[in-house]
Amino acid sequence: MTRKNAAAAVHGMSDETWKRHANPWSVWTRFASIPAFELAVWSRQWLGWWCLAAVVAVVVWLWLNVRLFEPVGPTSWTARGIYGEQLHVDGKVPVEHKMTLNWLIAAGLAGFALIAWGLIAMNVWPLTLGTVTVVLAQLWRIDRYGLLFQQYLREQSADGAT
């Protein structure tokens, strides 16, 4: 089992769950969870250990999020991106996409490291820079996944036409 498959298994990502996660409401509300999580951690300044209740609430929301919305087909930009992400998790990524996706994943991890630094040190600038980096990397990844999915559909229709 690869790391990607393990992460999908931890989140209980079935085909139905991927279709629900493809709903634009799921995608955009997950983006909104980034500052919510940061605020929950930052609130330790005011709430002490009670901030963990807010952190747990965000984590539970992230788990529920991919299950709450109606399943959708690949009709929107975000939905095509999520369907492409599923292809990535399933190991169906053509070589020409792998390097870009790896760089975008690395950029997202660097942004996450900056977020962690900002939250640990209670320093706004690495937190802000990290958040911007994570969001931009994720948006670019969704776009790349959408291209991957469209390429996959073209290849499937070409294989079926021959």
* Ordered DSSP codes for 16-63: HHHHHHTSHHHHHHHHHHHHHHHHHHHTHHHHGGGHHHHHHHHHHHHH
Model confidence at 156: pLDDT above 90: no
Integer Cα distance of 161 and 31 in angstroms? 39
Of 151, 143, 142, 146, which is closest to residue 94 (Cα–Cα)?
151
Per-chain mean pLDDT for the chain:
90
- Report pLDDT digits (tens) over 62-78: 999 999 999 999 999 99
Share of the chain above pLDDT 70, in %: 91
CA 134 to chain centre: 10
Binning pLDDT at 50, 70 and 90, where does residue 3 land? Answer: low
Share of the chain above pLDDT 90, in %: 78
- Report pLDDT digits (tens) over 95-135: 888 899 999 999 999 999 999 999 999 999 999 999 999 99
**Exposure letters 12-24 (e unless 16+ CB within 10 A, then b):** ebeeebbbbbbbb
Measured CA distances, 115 to 48, 60, 65, 109, 125 (Å): 19, 20, 22, 10, 9
Model confidence at 8: pLDDT above 70: no
**Can you give the pTM of this predicted structure?**
0.85
pLDDT for 11 equals: 53
Mean pLDDT, range 48-60, rounded to an integer: 94
Q: 161 CB contacts (<8 Å, ≥6 apart)?
A: none
